[in-house]
Amino acid sequence: MSSCDRRKFLALVGASSLLSGCFRPMLAEDSAGAEIRGKIILPPINDRFSYHLSSELEDRLGHTQDAQYRLVVTTKLTEQGLAITRNNAVTRRRIFATAQWALYPIGSEKPVLHDRTITQSGYNATSSLYSARVTKEDIERRLAVDLGQRISRTILARASQLEKAGAS
């Protein structure tokens, strides 16, 4: 069997295993991920960054209707100069966004899930204050959206563990 034939064979085996039920969507109708949607109280909105984070979390985790959990998120943004010229002018900046988060059952102080999520992005520094400010706001929005996606993906992926933790 040539290497080209082997690749085709492996691709067919992989595709058939996906179609045969080994793969199940996280938000399938009767999945644990679908069951937890709308049951999480999201963190309060304090500023523009937390607004974008909360908006993304609500899009993915659903609007709270029957609260069974509360999500606590602490975020931190750090910025560093990445490219510096000989005369110490920064030409490229990198922003790191870190979210320390925990999911608590209502009435409990012990989290059933907790993690730390980090994302980053960079931008070119310009001499225009306006464009630098707009660029930085856009980067922060994208970082908040990315954090929201990562946090919600983790919660939805571990939703079946939440049911077990709630039963014990």
Closest CA to 152 of 17, 62, 79, 89: 62
pLDDT of residue 168: 43
According to DSSP, the residues that pair with 122 across neighbouring strands are 94
- Over residues 78-128, the pLDDT tens digits come to 998 776 677 777 777 889 999 999 999 999 999 999 999 999 998 887 777
| Domains of the chain: residue spans and CATH | 27-167 (3.30.160.150)
SS3 sequence of 83-152: EECCCCCEEEEEEEEEEEEEEEECCCCCCCEEEEEEEEEEEECCCCHHHHHHHHHHHHHHHHHHHHHHHH
pLDDT value of position 59: 94
Task: Please write the tens of the pLDDT for every residue from 8-36.
Answer: 665 665 555 554 555 566 665 666 666 78
* Average pLDDT over the chain, rounded to an integer: 82
Residue 17's contacts (CB-CB under 8 Å, 6 or more residues apart) are: 23
Surface-to-core class of residue 52, CB atoms within 10 Å of its CB (0-12 exposed, 13-18 middle, 19+ buried): buried
| pTM for this predicted structure | 0.77
